[in-house]
Amino acid sequence: MTYTSDKTDENALRVSMAYISATGDTLTKSGDASSNESSDLFGLNAALLVTHGGHATLTDAKISTSGLGATGAYGYSKGTYINLTNGTIATTGNYGAAAEVSERAMMKVKNTIGSTAGYGAPALKVSKNGGIILVEDSQFTTTGQNAHGVYTSGDVTLTNSTVNAQNTKAAVIRNNNTLTLENATLEGNETGSLPYNIVMYSDADAIGTMGTQQFEAKGSHLISHKGGMFYVTGTRSKITLENTTLEQDKTQPILTIVGNNGTFGWGDPGSNGGHVEMILGNQTLEGNILVDSISDINLSIRDNSTWTGAIDIIDNAEGGTPYKTNADIFIAEGSTWNLTADSKATSVFNLGTINYNGHTITLADGTVMKE
């Protein structure tokens, strides 16, 4: 069956408080949204909108949109569930995500090819008040500016899948939410400001609230074509890497944890540092870590992991009050830190191996560790 809409603020197919299951359907949506905000928060102009506890299972579906704010598939509200299998999703308009949920809806996407071409059109998005997107055996690509591969205010899991943002960041994690990769590839190419591949932040009103946002990659591949890999500011984050390959510009830090000037609404300058727990398990990591004085990292190198790089602690650019610790490093038995430059840390607890390579580690109490 074919569902078509060319009207403003209309869905090609809307499922509300009902269950449907279909195979081989085509959904085509043109016509612009009257409000980008309403389109983003409620699926106002999506090709497929499932809402108010509705369930939709579509197999071999072809979803395409060309309007402003015309998302491909959108799930809204708690109890809503979308299952897309063996299909395609293509959006070309600005602000038209491929797949999006909000208000605690859930979507599962399997063996699907998705693409977006517009400005601000992410491949996968979880917006207001969270939700869950599970992606398996799928490929998503974005080509527009500011069209992130993943933008999540909820929980997104990629399994045996690839997401490639060709002209912007690979992923943005907002507030206390998660992005999990297993045997997946996440690729970005930030061509604008803030040249980092994966950005983790909290809104000003969320800073200091309970909870920790999380990024976890296992058996995966992270690629940054421009800039460093991770940028953490104004939030508490946990980053876990296991048997994952990272590619990036080797002249840039692999992880930057700093406060910010408040331009983007990410907290008050001088008090919006980042706080990171980073765990390396069976992981080889190459690259430097940069932390400012109002931020901190607790780095655990374990399970036969190796980190090759250096860590530096710099003054906060906005003159904020220094945090009580800035860099605590633990090296477990069987794991290794290979220094590539003189480094600074609050403390180092070493049960493994440190190869100084002619460099030193200066601790907060003035102790200088060296060969």
Task: Kindly write down the DSSP assignment for every residue of 267-286, as one continuous string.
Answer: S-TTS---EEEEEEES-EEE
pLDDT in the model for residue 207: 54
CB-CB neighbours of 273 under 10 Å = 28
Residue 204's pLDDT band (cuts 50, 70, 90): low
Q: Note the pLDDT tens digit of each residue in 139-183.
A: 999 999 999 999 999 999 999 999 999 999 999 999 999 999 999
Residue 64 above 70 pLDDT?
A: yes
Residue 193's pLDDT band (cuts 50, 70, 90): confident
pLDDT in the model for residue 268: 86
pLDDT in the model for residue 212: 86
Residue 91 above 80 pLDDT?
A: yes
Distance CA 228, CA 238 (A): 17
Q: State the number of CA atoms in the 13 A half-sphere of 171 facing the CB.
A: 33
Q: Are 41 and 128 in contact (CB under 8 A)?
A: yes
pLDDT in the model for residue 195: 85
Q: Which residue has the higher pLDDT, 158 or 129?
A: 158
Q: Are 209 and 176 in contact (CB under 8 A)?
A: yes
**DSSP reduced 3-state for 183:** coil
Q: Note the pLDDT tens digit of each residue in 224-281.
A: 999 999 999 999 999 999 999 999 999 999 999 999 988 888 888 999 999 999 999 9
Mean of the pLDDT values across residues 52-68? 98
Q: How do beta strands 343-345 and 311-314 pair?
A: unpaired
pLDDT in the model for residue 211: 64
